[in-house]
Amino acid sequence: MLLDSFDPYRPAVIAWPSLAPDALQRLVGLPFWDIAVATEERAARRMEALAEVSRDTLIQKAVALNAWEERRHKEVLGHMIHHYGIGLKEQEPYVAIADAEWGFLRTGYGECFDSFFAFGLFRLARESGFFPAPLVEVFEPIIQEEARHNLFFVNWVAYTRVNRGWPARSKLDLQRLAALWVQAWGRVSMARAVDDKNFTRTGGDAVGLTLKPRAFFALCAVEQERRMARYDSRLLRPRIMPSIAGMLSRVLPA
């Protein structure tokens, strides 16, 4: 699936649209471009590390393509940042993780967390006019590509787990739980940092975040299902975030 659904778009030939001063200010004012660039580079490095140690040549090829596409996301961001004059802080040097599989699990679960909310936010940004439609369309292939990566990840986990003996399977299960915890805690810490900059209280309304949390979670779940629907129905779908959102929705006000 991953290899057959490759999209050959090229960042260098993207026609970045002209933005009105208010739209440009909104784009430049978003507080997470540093995080986004660093995240894409980290994801690419960790996936490259897993590809290097994968024994199955087809899996190796797929993981290597996943890594290449993550680096292409960073390239798109780089072109956008340069085109619109967005300032970035100096990036911290990358620190490799010795266990390639552990690094891949952390990245995969982190992307499942991030993408679930990104699907909903992207839908809101499109409908609210927070960004001009031409700019939204530039990022549509990237958002869809993240859905495709998440689909590959959860199926890689299931395939890897079922093809291992009991000791190795138990180790993988423990690593999965640990990766989920680390990534969940990291997202909570990141959300607090972003909120300290007042983005969620001021920028949120501009994107269209007048929805109650319950309705927003439901929107994210619908968007995730919509983006996954184009792929083979026999493949597993990411279920952790929809399940968490469903449980939270039972206790949140309508």
Can you tell me the mean pLDDT for 152-174?
A: 96
Cα angle at 120 between 227 and 65, to 5 degrees? 45
Classify domain 20-88+99-249 at the CATH topology level.
Ferritin (1.20.1260)
Residue 31 has a pLDDT of: 81
Can you tell me the mean pLDDT for 202-224?
A: 74
Question: Model-level pTM?
Answer: 0.89
Can you tell me the mean pLDDT for 205-220?
A: 74
Mind listing the pLDDT tens digit for each residue in 178-198? 999 998 887 776 655 555 444
Mind listing the pLDDT tens digit for each residue in 104-131? 999 999 999 999 999 998 998 888 888 8
Mean of the per-residue pLDDT values for the chain? 89
Residue with tokens 């993240």: 146
Percent of the chain with pLDDT over 70: 90
pLDDT above 90 (res 143): yes
